[in-house]
């Protein structure tokens, strides 16, 4: 980073800790041991968007619920004073305990098991020795191999109103974009909906990075643009699985990269937030594969669940139970503790 002109106040704190070890019994992606982190299957471009079969969809359900479990667990440790490298160690161990490979590790030579992006870092932040401080905002981007992919932005202690509004708007844009998804909808409509939510707030939408298809390939078709007015081709079909993950900035959408080959930062040094979910297009709409199951912590929700049980039905997860912006409780996804990723398809 010598002679690099930083765009904002954040600085990396070196040295990085050694590369973390994944036990040999855990299924590894094809790039895990490649010296350049190259994925052979991703180097062959697919001619069309893949439609997953029932076995592949079930594998995605398993790994995406595990991904949510790992994200919630790791985020429960967010507090002033903890380093991003310590959060990486927690995430790595949580993946290993679930017999899952942390997808970022050695992907195109990314050196860590989770991307952690603080304040003006838009995405792909490399965990290091910098401790989080009161007032920071931090994004954790967790992926597990088959692959699942999800992320969220959290406050570190008390944050300013502008940052809180940025986080809330980014989260809302993802929710509204997912709500329009169903067979036959053009993929470009996702960006139109996000623009509709974000622009009135005066925030900007990063164009350099997109959402993507995900399954046994970490990144593939379709490309999901998050801004309006694009001419991106393609329509949603049942069996498509992809991410929606807009990166929203307080100021300019323009960006720069640190000399570590990964860390993307806002060009004006102002803050950025992101949320990401992996969704499946069904015959009638969509399923959020990375959405946590409903909580039953409140008296009202418990009562509702009991009533549903008496009627012989289960309460669907329609998104209303998603935790609001804030440091999460670390509750784990119910019923998935014993699941393992077998990678079969």
DSSP strand E in the chain: where? 115-118, 121-123, 137-144, 148-155, 204-205, 211-213, 220-224, 241-244, 247-249, 255-257, 264-266, 272-274, 277-281, 286-288
Q: Is 276 one of the annotated binding-site residues?
A: yes
For residue 57, pLDDT over 70 is answered with yes
Q: Which residue in the block uniquely carries the two structure tokens 């792909």? A: 124
Of the candidates 181, 179, 180, the residue with the CA atom closest to the CA atom of residue 240: 181
- CATH number of the domain bearing residue 255: 3.90.230.10
* Phi then psi dihedrals of residue 280, to 5 deg: -115, 135
pTM of the full predicted structure?
0.85
The answer as to whether 343 is a domain residue is no
Give residue-wise pLDDT tens across range 241-282.
Answer: 999 999 999 999 999 999 999 999 999 999 999 999 999 999
The answer as to whether 33 is a domain residue is no
Asked if 118 and 156 count as a contact pair (C-beta separation under 8 A), the reply is: no
The answer as to whether 300 is a domain residue is no
The answer as to whether 249 is a domain residue is yes
For residue 325, pLDDT over 70 is answered with no
Asked if 72 and 112 count as a contact pair (C-beta separation under 8 A), the reply is: no
Predicted confidence at residue 292, as pLDDT, reads 67
For residue 310, pLDDT over 80 is answered with no
Give residue-wise pLDDT tens across range 74-127.
Answer: 999 999 999 999 999 999 999 999 999 999 999 999 999 999 999 999 999 999
What share of the chain has pLDDT > 90, as a percent? 82
The answer as to whether 217 is a domain residue is yes
Q: Is 237 one of the annotated binding-site residues?
A: no
Asked if 255 and 264 count as a contact pair (C-beta separation under 8 A), the reply is: yes
The answer as to whether 41 is a domain residue is no
* Rounded distance between C-alpha atoms, residue 65 and residue 293, angstroms: 9
Predicted confidence at residue 293, as pLDDT, reads 62
Residue 308: partners with Cβ closer than 8 Å, 6 or more residues away: 314, 315
Q: Is 149 one of the annotated binding-site residues?
A: yes
The predicted model gives 130-155 an average pLDDT of: 97
Of the candidates 145, 22, 156, 147, the residue with the CA atom closest to the CA atom of residue 84: 156
Asked if 267 and 254 count as a contact pair (C-beta separation under 8 A), the reply is: yes
The answer as to whether 317 is a domain residue is no
Predicted confidence at residue 143, as pLDDT, reads 98
**Tokens matching residue 313:** 């039905």
Q: Is 299 one of the annotated binding-site residues?
A: no
* Rounded distance between C-alpha atoms, residue 209 and residue 126, angstroms: 17
Predicted confidence at residue 340, as pLDDT, reads 34
* Rounded distance between C-alpha atoms, residue 251 and residue 201, angstroms: 11
Give residue-wise pLDDT tens across range 327-344.
Answer: 333 333 333 233 333 333
Predicted confidence at residue 294, as pLDDT, reads 66
The answer as to whether 25 is a domain residue is no
State which residues form the domain around 240.
54-288
Predicted confidence at residue 308, as pLDDT, reads 35
Predicted confidence at residue 2, as pLDDT, reads 86
Least confident of 48-62, 183-197, 296-310: 296-310
Mean of the per-residue pLDDT values of the chain: 88
Asked if 109 and 29 count as a contact pair (C-beta separation under 8 A), the reply is: no
Q: Is 25 one of the annotated binding-site residues?
A: no
CA 174 to chain centre: 11
The tally of domains found in the chain comes to 1
b/e 239-265 (16+ beta carbons within 10 angstroms → b): bbbbbbbbbbbbbebebbebebebbbb
Q: Which residue has the higher pLDDT, 163 or 334?
A: 163
Predicted confidence at residue 278, as pLDDT, reads 98
Q: Is 245 one of the annotated binding-site residues?
A: yes
């Amino acid at each position: 980073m010598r002679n690099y002109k930083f765009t904002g106040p954040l600085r990396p704190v070196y040295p990085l800790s050694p590369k973390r070890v994944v036990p040999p019994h855990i299924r590894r992606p094809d790039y895990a041991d490649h010296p350049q982190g190259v994925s052979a299957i991703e180097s062959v471009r697919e001619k069309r968007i893949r439609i997953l079969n029932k076995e592949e969809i079930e594998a995605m359900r398993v790994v995406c619920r595990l991904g949510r479990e790992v994200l919630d667990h790791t985020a429960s440790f967010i507090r002033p004073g903890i380093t991003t490298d310590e959060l990486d160690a927690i995430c790595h161990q949580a993946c290993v305990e679930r017999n899952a490979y942390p997808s970022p590790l050695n992907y195109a030579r990314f050196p860590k098991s989770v991307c952690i992006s603080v304040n003006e870092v838009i995405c792909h932040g490399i965990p290091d020795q910098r401790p989080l401080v009161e007032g920071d905002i931090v994004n954790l981007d967790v992926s597990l191999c088959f692959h699942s992919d999800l992320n969220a932005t959290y406050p570190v202690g008390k944050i300013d109103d502008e940052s809180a509004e940025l986080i809330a708007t980014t989260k809302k844009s993802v929710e509204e974009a997912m709500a329009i998804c169903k067979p036959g909808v053009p993929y470009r409509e996702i960006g139109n909906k996000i623009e509709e939510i974000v622009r009135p707030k005066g925030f900007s939408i990063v164009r350099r990075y997109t959402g993507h298809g995900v399954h046994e390939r970490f990144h593939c078709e379709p490309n999901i643009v998050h801004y309006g007015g694009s001419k991106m081709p393609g329509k949603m079909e049942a069996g498509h699985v992809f991410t929606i993950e807009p990166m929203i900035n307080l100021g300019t959408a323009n960006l720069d990269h640190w000399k570590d080959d990964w860390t993307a930062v806002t060009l004006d040094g102002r803050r950025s937030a992101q949320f990401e979910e992996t969704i499946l297009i069904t015959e009638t709409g969509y399923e959020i594969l990375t959405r946590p199951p409903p909580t039953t912590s409140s008296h009202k929700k418990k009562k509702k669940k009991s009533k549903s049980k008496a009627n012989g039905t289960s309460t669907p997860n329609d998104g209303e139970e998603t935790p609001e912006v804030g440091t999460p409780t670390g509750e784990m996804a119910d019923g998935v503790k014993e699941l393992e990723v077998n990678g079969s398809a």
